[in-house]
Amino acid sequence: SQQGEEDPQALSIQEGENATMNCSYKTSINNLQWYRQNSGRGLVHLILIRSNEREKHSGRLRVTLDTSKKSSSLLITASRAADTASYFCATDGGNFNKFYFGSGTKLNVKP
Amino acid sequence: DAGVIQSPRHEVTEMGQEVTLRCKPISGHNSLFWYRQTMMRGLELLIYFNNNVPIDDSGMPEDRFSAKMPNASFSTLKIQPSEPRDSAVYFCASKLAGGFNEQFFGPGTRLTVL
pLDDT in tens, A11-42: 999 999 999 999 999 988 999 999 999 998 99
Phi, psi of A108, deg, nearest 5:
-120, 120
Q: Verify whether the Cβ–Cβ distance A96 to B45 is below 8 Å.
A: no
pLDDT the model gives residue A3: 65
Q: Verify whether the Cβ–Cβ distance B31 to A97 is below 8 Å.
A: yes
**DSSP string of B42-90?**
EEEEEEEEETTEEEE-TT--STTEEEEEEETTEEEEEESS--GGG-EEE
**CB proximity A99 to B under 8 Å:** yes
Neighbours of B8 (CB within 10 A): 13
From chain B, the residues in CB contact with A53 under 8 A are: none
Q: Verify whether the Cβ–Cβ distance A42 to B45 is below 8 Å.
A: no
From chain B, the residues in CB contact with A43 under 8 A are: 43, 91, 93, 103, 105
pLDDT tens-digit map of A55-76:
999 999 999 999 999 999 999 9
pLDDT the model gives residue A2: 52
Phi, psi of B86, deg, nearest 5:
-80, -10
Q: What count of Cα atoms within 13 Å lies in the side-chain half-sphere of residue B74?
A: 4
Chain A: residue whose CA lies nearest to B32 = A97
Distance in angstroms (rounded) separating the CA atoms of residues A87 and A66? 19
Is residue B33 within 8 Å of residue B106, measured between CB atoms? no
pLDDT the model gives residue A69: 95
**CB proximity A111 to B under 8 Å:** no
Chain B: residue whose CA lies nearest to A32 = B100
From chain B, the residues in CB contact with A97 under 8 A are: 31, 48, 50, 55, 95, 97-98
